[in-house]
């Protein structure tokens, strides 16, 4: 079996996993990648590999920040996050996750062999546990703490 066939079968399998688990995010992502493969738009893959994560984080950040932009979250609500212990803990956890994401991005760049395991784990987590595919960066950050990479 050729590399194209194995990769396509893997994408199809993961799309199937997304369908079975009812997770449209993973299903759509896998189908888009599969369509890029079968329509000979392979020339887009280097761009997606280089900028896809950044574009995804930008879109995610836009989604997260839209309540502030739309006025649904007031300045008072934001300031209140610094007076309640749960909200303060949320700020600290947010900072920790951002730190781990940064370590993860660096580790993924330095150790490409780790990326495959992180991606498979993330896809399985998304498909089987209804997670969200932001896991590879955080997973890599946590992994970097265990293996001593910074």
pLDDT, position 93 = 87
* Better pLDDT: 118 or 46: 46
pLDDT, position 150 = 59
pLDDT digits (tens, 9 = 90+) for 109-147: 777 678 777 777 877 887 778 777 766 677 777 888 888
- Rounded to the nearest integer, the mean pLDDT of the chain is 82
How far, in Å, are 8, 50, 112, 137 from residue 133 at the CA level? Answer: 20, 17, 18, 9
- For residues 110 and 100, the answer to whether their CB atoms sit within 8 Å is no
What value does the mean pLDDT take over residues 78-93?
83
Residue count (the chain): 150
Q: Strand, helix or coil at 13?
A: helix
């Amino acid at each position: 079996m050729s590399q194209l066939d194995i990769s396509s079968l893997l994408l199809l399998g993961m799309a199937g996993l997304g369908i079975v688990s009812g997770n449209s995010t993973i299903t759509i992502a896998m189908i888009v990648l599969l369509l890029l493969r079968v329509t000979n738009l392979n020339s887009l893959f280097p761009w997606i590999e280089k900028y896809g994560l950044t574009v995804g984080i930008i879109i995610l950040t836009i989604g997260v920040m839209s309540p502030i932009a739309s006025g649904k979250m007031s300045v008072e609500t934001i300031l209140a996050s610094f007076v309640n212990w749960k909200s303060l803990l949320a700020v600290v956890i947010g900072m920790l996750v951002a730190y781990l994401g940064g370590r993860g991005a660096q580790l993924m760049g330095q150790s490409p062999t780790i990326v495959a395991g992180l991606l498979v784990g993330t896809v399985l987590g998304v498909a089987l546990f209804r997670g969200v595919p932001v896991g590879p960066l955080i997973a890599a950050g946590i992994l970097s703490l265990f293996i001593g990479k910074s």
